[in-house]
Amino acid sequence: MQPKTKLLNAAVIVAALGYFVDIYDLILFSIVRVPSLKSLGLSADELTNTGILLLDMQMLGMLIGGILWGVMGDKRGRLSVLFGSIFLYSAANIANGFIHSIPAYATWRFIAGIGLAGELGAGITLVAEILPKEKRGIGTMIVAVVGLTGAVVAGFMADIFDWRTCYFIGGGLGMLLLALRIGVNESGMFKHAKKTESSRGEFLALFTNSKRLIRYLRCIFIGLTTWYVIGILVSFSPEFAKALGVVGEVKAGTSVMFAYTGIVFGDLVSGALSQVLKSRIKVMFIFLVLSIIAVITYLTANDVSALTLYFMCGFLGFASGFWIIFVTIAAEQFGTNIRATVTTTVPNFVRGALIPLTFAFQYFKGQTDIITSAVIVGIVTLSIAIFALYGLKETFHEDLDYNEEM
């Protein structure tokens, strides 16, 4: 079977735009957390504690959605997941604009999380399967760079519009994208796998073989640092700024915008570097080392200005700019009959890992202080990621047209 060779085909464009809306919605809550909760009558410590609760509800939805969409992607096809997930998180986004209570907020963040769980995995799987191995890294890089700018746009929108309007904009963009979906074709590899007798989308099969399970867990663990950085260090930058004695007001929305600007450049550099080095693993290692440097710099930034801390958030983002490389590695590690399941569940389990990470962060913060807590969680997270990466095979030159033996 000869894969398509045109780089900027409809699938790459739709996957990139879908990821743009996905990231816009995913990050929007972190940006509007404080103003939205204040408008609902919360203040002081309630802003942090309720914010973590709502973020955990979103991540719980992504954990559940990751499994549901992943299995569906291998059984029903990549396109059904791509468009189904876009519809669900767009509808939830619009509903978020109408909420007037914390329970309603939590419910719709949970539903949005389910929807957000499917787009990236389906998009990356589709792009990886329709492009030849020499170009799939470039294709996934395009998806990343276009998609991650959604966080930057979310930051700008939050500065211009009311938080409810920002949610309406995100939902409207997703619905508009669905109207432009004509012309996207299903993966030829999926069509071929569908004709074989191999089992497809068997999530439990990931746990019935020890070698396959270890490979799967390694794919998850190498990405943990991204949500430690974004979900804790950047999202709660106002609290860190206070503890570090930062001069001037630090806004979470601005920190997120700087971080995601850094991530865009990081993904661009990591994607290009992987093409030059012809290696995903080497690039991941380089960026994990950069992450260690960035975290140390951030957590020791005593008495700096607010602008300096924002730039440090940008550096944190740049060092974490390996998200799409990490998801591509997951896609390349497994056969066609279970690829969508893996590629969809892996990033969502990483996002969902923010729940135990924030729990540990809150626990240690109660025992020590916010800086020490972040150091402890960071050491554990980065150590796990480096250890997990060490055992993964290089996948840059892998031919993906094969089925996993069950």
Average pLDDT of the residues in 3-18: 71
Q: What is residue 2's predicted lDDT score, i.e. its pLDDT? A: 41
Residue 217 banded pLDDT, cuts 50, 70, 90: very high
Could you tell me which residues come within 8 angstroms of residue 200 by beta carbon, excluding any fewer than 6 positions away? 74, 75, 193, 194, 337, 338
In the DSSP assignment, the letter for residue 207 is: G
How do residues 145-174 score in pLDDT, each as one tens digit? Answer: 888 788 778 888 888 899 999 999 999 988
SS3 200: coil
Whether 185 shows a pLDDT value over 70: the answer reads: no
348 closest CA partner among 188, 203, 209, 210: 203
Cβ(50)–Cβ(58) below 8 Å: no
Which phi and psi (to 5°) does residue 199 adopt?
Answer: -70, 140
Whether 3 shows a pLDDT value over 50: the answer reads: no
Token match 């519009």: residue?
161
Here the tokens at position 225 are 């640092």
Residue 191 banded pLDDT, cuts 50, 70, 90: low
Residue 197 banded pLDDT, cuts 50, 70, 90: low
SS3 18: helix
Distance CA 34, CA 29 (A): 9
Average pLDDT of the residues in 311-324: 92
Residue 81 banded pLDDT, cuts 50, 70, 90: confident
- Measured at the CA of 52, the angle between CA 48 and CA 58, to 5 degrees, comes to 145
Residue 4 banded pLDDT, cuts 50, 70, 90: very low
Q: How many CB atoms lie within 10 A of CB 206?
A: 19
Q: What is residue 111's predicted lDDT score, i.e. its pLDDT? A: 93
Can you name the CATH fold of 10-181+206-390? Growth Hormone; Chain: A; (1.20.1250)
Cβ(362)–Cβ(59) below 8 Å: no
Residues composing the chain: 406
Average pLDDT of the residues in 328-343: 85
Please give the mean pLDDT across all residues of the chain: 85
Query: Lowest-pLDDT range, 100-109, 177-186, 236-245, 305-314?
Result: 177-186
Whether 187 shows a pLDDT value over 80: the answer reads: no
Whether 225 shows a pLDDT value over 50: the answer reads: yes
Cβ(329)–Cβ(284) below 8 Å: yes
110 vs 135: which has the higher pLDDT: 110
Beta bridge partners of 305: 247
Q: What is residue 195's predicted lDDT score, i.e. its pLDDT? A: 61
Flag whether the pTM goes above 0.75.
yes
Average pLDDT of the residues in 67-79: 82
Cβ(193)–Cβ(8) below 8 Å: no
Hey, what amino acid is at 241? A
Residue 1 banded pLDDT, cuts 50, 70, 90: very low
Residue 184 banded pLDDT, cuts 50, 70, 90: low
In the chain, what are the domain boundaries?
Answer: 10-181+206-390
Cβ(219)–Cβ(349) below 8 Å: no
Distance, CA of 370 to chain centre: 24
